[in-house]
Amino acid sequence: MAQQGQQGQGQQGQQQGQGQQAGQAMQSGQGTQFADKDILQLALNESKHTAEALNSFILEASNEQLRRDYMTVLGDVYNQQKQVFDLMQQKGFYSVQNATAEQMTQAQSKFSGQMQ
Protein backbone atom coordinates (compact mmCIF):
# COMPACT_ATOMS: atom_id res chain seq x y z
CA MET A 1 0.00 0.00 0.00
CA ALA A 2 2.84 2.36 0.75
CA GLN A 3 4.18 1.51 -2.66
CA GLN A 4 0.92 2.78 -4.13
CA GLY A 5 1.42 6.03 -2.25
CA GLN A 6 4.90 6.28 -3.69
CA GLN A 7 3.49 5.60 -7.15
CA GLY A 8 0.90 8.32 -6.66
CA GLN A 9 3.62 10.82 -5.80
CA GLY A 10 5.63 9.73 -8.83
CA GLN A 11 2.59 10.07 -11.04
CA GLN A 12 2.02 13.64 -9.90
CA GLY A 13 5.58 14.53 -10.79
CA GLN A 14 5.26 12.83 -14.13
CA GLN A 15 2.00 14.61 -14.89
CA GLN A 16 3.63 17.95 -14.09
CA GLY A 17 6.45 17.06 -16.45
CA GLN A 18 4.03 15.97 -19.13
CA GLY A 19 3.56 19.46 -20.47
CA GLN A 20 7.31 19.84 -20.71
CA GLN A 21 7.62 16.46 -22.44
CA ALA A 22 4.99 17.33 -24.99
CA GLY A 23 6.96 20.49 -25.72
CA GLN A 24 9.99 18.33 -26.45
CA ALA A 25 8.28 16.72 -29.43
CA MET A 26 10.49 16.84 -32.47
CA GLN A 27 9.50 18.98 -35.44
CA SER A 28 10.03 17.56 -38.89
CA GLY A 29 9.06 18.54 -42.39
CA GLN A 30 6.01 16.27 -42.20
CA GLY A 31 4.68 17.37 -38.82
CA THR A 32 5.34 16.70 -35.17
CA GLN A 33 6.99 13.46 -34.13
CA PHE A 34 6.71 12.31 -30.53
CA ALA A 35 9.30 10.31 -28.64
CA ASP A 36 8.46 6.81 -27.42
CA LYS A 37 8.32 8.11 -23.86
CA ASP A 38 5.70 10.71 -24.78
CA ILE A 39 3.54 8.19 -26.65
CA LEU A 40 3.68 5.67 -23.81
CA GLN A 41 2.86 8.35 -21.22
CA LEU A 42 -0.15 9.42 -23.27
CA ALA A 43 -1.27 5.78 -23.61
CA LEU A 44 -0.94 5.23 -19.86
CA ASN A 45 -2.89 8.39 -19.03
CA GLU A 46 -5.63 7.57 -21.54
CA SER A 47 -6.02 4.07 -20.11
CA LYS A 48 -6.40 5.61 -16.64
CA HIS A 49 -9.12 7.95 -17.88
CA THR A 50 -10.86 5.10 -19.69
CA ALA A 51 -10.82 3.01 -16.50
CA GLU A 52 -12.30 5.91 -14.54
CA ALA A 53 -15.13 6.29 -17.06
CA LEU A 54 -15.81 2.55 -17.10
CA ASN A 55 -15.98 2.51 -13.29
CA SER A 56 -18.72 5.14 -13.47
CA PHE A 57 -20.56 3.22 -16.18
CA ILE A 58 -20.44 0.04 -14.10
CA LEU A 59 -21.76 1.78 -11.00
CA GLU A 60 -24.58 3.46 -12.91
CA ALA A 61 -25.61 0.60 -15.22
CA SER A 62 -29.17 -0.55 -14.59
CA ASN A 63 -28.94 -3.50 -16.98
CA GLU A 64 -27.04 -6.47 -15.52
CA GLN A 65 -25.73 -7.70 -18.89
CA LEU A 66 -24.44 -4.22 -19.72
CA ARG A 67 -22.77 -4.08 -16.30
CA ARG A 68 -21.02 -7.40 -16.93
CA ASP A 69 -19.91 -6.26 -20.38
CA TYR A 70 -18.45 -3.05 -18.94
CA MET A 71 -16.66 -5.12 -16.29
CA THR A 72 -15.14 -7.31 -18.99
CA VAL A 73 -13.94 -4.26 -20.89
CA LEU A 74 -12.56 -2.76 -17.68
CA GLY A 75 -10.52 -5.93 -17.10
CA ASP A 76 -9.11 -5.58 -20.62
CA VAL A 77 -8.22 -1.94 -19.95
CA TYR A 78 -6.44 -2.92 -16.72
CA ASN A 79 -4.44 -5.55 -18.60
CA GLN A 80 -3.45 -3.06 -21.31
CA GLN A 81 -2.55 -0.47 -18.69
CA LYS A 82 -0.28 -2.98 -16.96
CA GLN A 83 1.42 -3.81 -20.26
CA VAL A 84 2.10 -0.14 -20.97
CA PHE A 85 3.34 0.40 -17.40
CA ASP A 86 5.65 -2.64 -17.62
CA LEU A 87 7.04 -1.44 -20.97
CA MET A 88 7.67 2.03 -19.54
CA GLN A 89 9.52 0.53 -16.58
CA GLN A 90 11.51 -1.75 -18.88
CA LYS A 91 12.61 1.23 -20.98
CA GLY A 92 13.43 3.28 -17.88
CA PHE A 93 10.65 5.81 -18.51
CA TYR A 94 8.79 5.10 -15.26
CA SER A 95 10.60 4.18 -12.08
CA VAL A 96 8.89 3.20 -8.85
CA GLN A 97 10.57 3.43 -5.48
CA ASN A 98 9.81 0.37 -3.37
CA ALA A 99 8.38 1.10 0.06
CA THR A 100 10.48 0.36 3.12
CA ALA A 101 9.20 -2.01 5.80
CA GLU A 102 8.50 1.01 8.01
CA GLN A 103 6.44 2.70 5.27
CA MET A 104 4.47 -0.51 4.75
CA THR A 105 3.71 -0.73 8.48
CA GLN A 106 2.60 2.91 8.56
CA ALA A 107 0.28 2.40 5.59
CA GLN A 108 -1.19 -0.77 7.08
CA SER A 109 -1.85 1.03 10.36
CA LYS A 110 -3.42 3.99 8.61
CA PHE A 111 -5.79 1.92 6.50
CA SER A 112 -6.60 -0.76 9.05
CA GLY A 113 -8.11 1.93 11.28
CA GLN A 114 -10.30 3.14 8.40
CA MET A 115 -11.69 -0.32 7.67
CA GLN A 116 -13.17 -0.82 11.14
- 100, part of any domain: no
Decide if 14 is inside a domain. Answer: no
CB 1 within 8 A of CB 112: no
Tell me if 36 is assigned to some domain.
no
78 three-class SS: helix
pLDDT at residue number 45: 96
Task: With respect to residue 1, please indicate whether it lies within any of the assigned structural domains.
Answer: no
The answer to the question of residue 116 being in a domain is no
Residue 54 domain boundaries: 44-92
73 in a structural domain: yes
- Length of the chain in terms of residues written: 116
Strands 31-33 and 26-28 turn out to be antiparallel
Domain count along the chain: 1
- List the Cα angle 85/89/90 in 5-degree steps: 115
Sites in the chain below the pLDDT cut of 70: 1-29, 114-116
